[in-house]
Chain A
Amino acid sequence: MVSERTLMLIHYLTGLGILVAGAVHIGTVFLTAPVKENLEFAGSPFAVMGVYRNAILAGSLEALLLFVAFHAFNGLRVILIELYQSPRWEHAVTWALTVVALLVVIYGTRTIIIAYSIAQGVA
């Protein structure tokens, strides 16, 4: 069983990771993506797809997904175990949220892989 100390260390690090990976993501889409013609192009599906052409940027999106999934679901766990206290409840909450977080990561990863494949194909 992972100690609370380790979970909170990962929680803080993923919080910082979200800031960094989020800034990279937003910056890439709105500033460095192929915004050639005008600003309206920024944030458009074309600009987003442009991000996936670069494997490093696609990887940073995967990292962002992992950071957000851990940080959000661990935060939710903390809130839920504070609201009501019982070993059974805490066990159920921890496992249920772990499963949901894994499903989110699997679905998100699948989406990133598909987008990356399409972007590579149209590049």
Chain B
Amino acid sequence: MSGTSEVLLRVYRYDPSNGGKPRYQNYRVPTFRGMTVLDALIYIKENLDPTLSIRYSCRMASCGSCGMTINGLPRLACFTQISELRSKYILVQPLRNLPIIKDLVADLDEFFNKHKLVKPYLIRRDVEEQENPREQYRQSEEELERYVQFAYCIKCALCYSACPVVSTDKSFPGPQALAQLYRYYIDTRDEAREERIRIVDGAHGIWRCHFADSCSQVCPKGVDPALAIQLMRREMMFGPSKG
């Protein structure tokens, strides 16, 4: 690794298994052009401190594994270049609103359980036919466009971490789950609209969204969960849209 300049990474360290308290540790990392925060963390792990725990996989913003809080905002470490932060000092913390397994690794069980709660799959009335489909479920381009942007979600939990409602109401499903609810609700191949509505029409359901829009601001894939929530509310309040 060759580089003429360096950055100071202030990294959150915490190991709940040994009863330790959270602390911050500073690392000086040499930089190179195009270096991402994930590159810097891997450099630390390989050269400075092998005890640092991070989670990553694809390194190309596809898997959603390396979500963390970088300089105060939830971001994907692999999708955040050091140069774009315009600072020689980078604060790296785990995702907010989630328990911590160790250091920068957040426990995503709660997040995925809420995702499962909204039944993120197509449901047909004829289960037998769904198990053994006789033909393709055809869709027009217009029908696809109604939900396709919400299907780009990579389940990185950045929106969940940014949501102010999740931080105060642990029963709130969160923007990711609600956006996925709408994604399947509006899909013309799905036949469980009322069932989906019942899932989120509770005291801690979709109506608790304050429309802070922070979920949409942090999504690395350009998904707009706040829009999905508003569209879903409209469907619930004024009835199913035509078409």
Contacts and interface: CB of A to CB of B under 8 A. Distances in A.
Interface of A: 3-5, 8-9, 12, 78, 81-83, 85, 90
B205 A82 contact: no
B204 A85 contact: yes
A78 B208 contact: yes
Interface in B131-154: none
A5 B199 CA distance: 12
A78 B210 CA distance: 11
A5 B207 CA distance: 8
B237 A4 contact: no
B168 A3 contact: no
A8 B207 contact: yes
Given A81-B203, A90-B203, A5 B237 contact: yes
Given A5-B201, A5-B237, A82 B169 contact: yes
Given A4-B201, A90-B203, A82 B168 contact: yes
B204 A8 contact: no
Contact of A82 (B165, B197, B237): B165
B203 A3 contact: no
A65 to B, nearest CB: 25
B202 A85 contact: no
25 contacts: A3-B201, A4-B201, A4-B202, A4-B203, A4-B205, A4-B207, A5-B201, A5-B207, A5-B236, A5-B237, A8-B207, A8-B237, A9-B237, A12-B237, A78-B207, A78-B208, A81-B203, A81-B204, A82-B168, A82-B208, A83-B168, A85-B169, A85-B170, A85-B171, A85-B204
Nearest to B170: A85
Given A3-B201, A78-B208, A82-B165, 13 more contacts: A4-B202, A4-B207, A5-B201, A5-B236, A8-B207, A9-B237, A12-B237, A78-B207, A81-B203, A82-B168, A82-B169, A85-B169, A90-B203
Contacts of A5: 197, 201, 207, 236-237
- Which residue, of A3, A4, A81, has the highest number of chain B Cβ atoms within 10 A? A4
A10 to B, nearest CB: 11
A123 to B, nearest CB: 44
